[in-house]
């Protein structure tokens, strides 16, 4: 599944994983077009952010 970042980048969702030091925290693992891997807490990945005076999702799923 692909997601578009509110700044325009396209990222591939890899998986959701529990943080070893705190299993109550779910981390989203995703990769960028350059092959780099990234993680964010699930709450941050799906949060709403302010951008250009509007409230938008940080990442939005792209319909395929």
Per-residue pLDDT of the chain (64 residues; tens, 9 = 90+): 999 999 999 999 999 999 999 999 999 999 999 999 999 999 999 999 999 999 999 999 998 6
Q: What is the span of the domain harbouring residue 35? A: 2-62
Which residue shows structure tokens 């799906």?
46
Joined together, the tokens standing for residue 43 give: 């709450």
> Which residues fall within 8 angstroms of residue 43, CB to CB, at 6 or more apart?
none
Please give the distance of CA 24 from its chain centroid, rounded to a whole number.
Answer: 18
What's the maximum distance between 2 C-alpha atoms anywhere in the chain?
A: 37
Give the predicted TM-score (pTM) of the model: 0.86
Total number of domains constituting the chain: 1
């Amino acid at each position: 599944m692909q997601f578009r970042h509110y700044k325009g980048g396209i990222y591939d969702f890899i998986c959701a994983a529990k943080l070893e030091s705190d299993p109550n925290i779910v981390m989203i693992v995703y990769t960028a077009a350059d092959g780099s891997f990234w993680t964010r807490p699930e709450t941050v990945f799906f949060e709403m952010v302010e951008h250009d005076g509007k409230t938008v999702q940080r990442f939005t799923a792209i319909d395929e």
